[in-house]
Amino acid sequence: MGKGRILITGGAGFIGSHLADRLLDQGYDVRALDALVPQVHGSDRRRPEYLHRDVELQIGDVRDRDAVLRALDGVDAVFHFAAAVGVGQSMYEIAQYTSVNNFGTAVLLEALLKRPVGRLIVASSMSLYGEGLYRTRTGALRMNADRSRAQLQRGEWEPVDETGAPLEPLPTPESKTPALHSIYALSKYDQEQLCLIFGRAYQVPTVALRFFNVYGTRQALSNPYTGVLAIFGSRLINRARPLVFEDGLQRRDFVHVSDVAQACQRALETPAAAGEVFNVGSGRSFTIREVAAQLSGCLGVPELRAELAGKYRVGDVRHCFADITRAKQVLGYRPEIAFEEGLAELAEWLRGQVAVDRVSQMRAELEARGLTV
């Protein structure tokens, strides 16, 4: 007898499919609700080959009340992953991102009033932090380290204090005040808070997981607004240099998708997680320039060095990487895949893939709208 039926909205996607594999291995039944949007899944919108055969796939939009009610039938818990993803694109497809992310979550929550579940886990994002946590030279913590447009136009990329002294980036904890720099960040914060407010009001144990830069196999390589490693991979297998904004020294936390799936399962099964928010990262940070060089080395094309744009993309931040102390203490979460190991696995997968390189198109779209400085 199985442990119960789990619904994953957006379950045919990158993270959802890996979570489905893990849950099936642990004895759960898994249903996925996914719209199979062309930007992610291609124009034919067919069931992905990588999606486990035991996943019950229902094709439907999270904004469709009837589709959501059907998907919730007989379900014990929900992972809400369905979302439009991409900082840059969100700045001009404002209605689309707000509709899918905010309204879609609202439709799901109203459906849960008719089809109650025992637990709700929502995928949030590190993007809601804006800049990460910083420390001044005197040791004071700085929650708000925004860079001015004038500073960025001068090519001065590092956040500074009032005297012009550089700030030291620190691991960002969940207690850091959100700073919403993009429509995407706002929509993810709304998704998170909608679910937590609903959970408190209706006594549904709810957990929000703030994912950092998730990477691994099955990412949508032809989507220029997906994760940075997938974009770099798409460029490299097409023998093009990775495009890096600013000077490439911005720092990020790259977490392997299998570790994210581990955190998700723990959020499902840990009673003390209810009502809480957790960072899900690796606890390490790398510069964007470093990861571009490492991936090109893994793929055997070290001569394809990163192209430094020397421009700022509206909505981006300088440094943000995870403090995962709370996830370790409450969930028992322990990242298991070292970045070097995960990158080698990603490179091996990339060698067998075909990708349409749309990075130049993305760059042109942003520049035409004045979204690069």
In a domain? residue 305: yes
In a domain? residue 54: yes
- What tokens were used for 323? 């403090």
Rounded to 5°, the CA angle 137-139-143 comes to: 95
d(CA 205, CA 177): 23
Strands 119-125, 77-80: pairing kind: parallel
Which pLDDT score, from 0 to 100, does residue 364 have?
Answer: 84
**Mean pLDDT, residues 5-20:** 98
Residue 1 has pLDDT above 60, yes or no: no
Q: Which carries the bigger pLDDT value, residue 44 or residue 32?
A: 32
Residue where the block lists tokens 């469709």: 64
The fraction of the chain above a pLDDT of 90, given in percent, is 83
**Total structural domains in the chain?**
1
pLDDT in tens, 199-228: 999 999 999 999 999 999 999 888 877 789
Rounded to 5°, the CA angle 89-32-214 comes to: 45
Radius of gyration over every alpha carbon of the chain, rounded to an integer in angstroms = 20
In a domain? residue 314: yes
d(CA 228, CA 230): 5
In a domain? residue 373: no
Residues annotated catalytic, as ranges? 184
Residue 337 has pLDDT above 60, yes or no: yes
Residue type, 325: T
In a domain? residue 153: yes
Q: What is the pTM for the complete model shown?
A: 0.96
Greatest Cα-to-Cα distance within the chain, rounded to the nearest angstrom: 65
User: Roughly how many angstroms between the first and final C-alpha of the chain, as a whole number?
Assistant: 57
pLDDT in tens, 274-320: 999 999 999 999 999 999 999 999 999 989 999 998 999 888 999 99
pLDDT in tens, 237-255: 999 999 999 999 999 999 9
Adjacent-strand bridge partners of 320: 252
Q: Check: CB of residue 275 under 8 Å from CB of residue 210.
A: no
The fraction of the chain above a pLDDT of 70, given in percent, is 99
In a domain? residue 150: yes
Average confidence score pLDDT of the chain: 94
CATH of the domain at 126: 3.40.50.720
pLDDT in tens, 118-177: 999 999 999 999 999 999 999 999 998 999 989 999 999 999 999 999 999 999 999 999
In a domain? residue 48: yes
Residue 2 has pLDDT above 80, yes or no: no
Ranges 59-63, 222-226, 263-267: which has the least confidence:
222-226
Confidence band for 265, pLDDT divided at 50, 70 and 90: very high
Q: Check: CB of residue 24 under 8 Å from CB of residue 97.
A: no
Range of the domain at 134: 5-368
Q: Which of 280, 226, 236, 276 is nearest to 258 (CA)?
A: 280
Write out the DSSP string of 212-278: -EEE-TT--TT-TTS-HHHHHHHHHHTT-PPEESTTS--EE-EEEHHHHHHHHHHHHH-GGGTT-EE
Residue 331 has pLDDT above 50, yes or no: yes
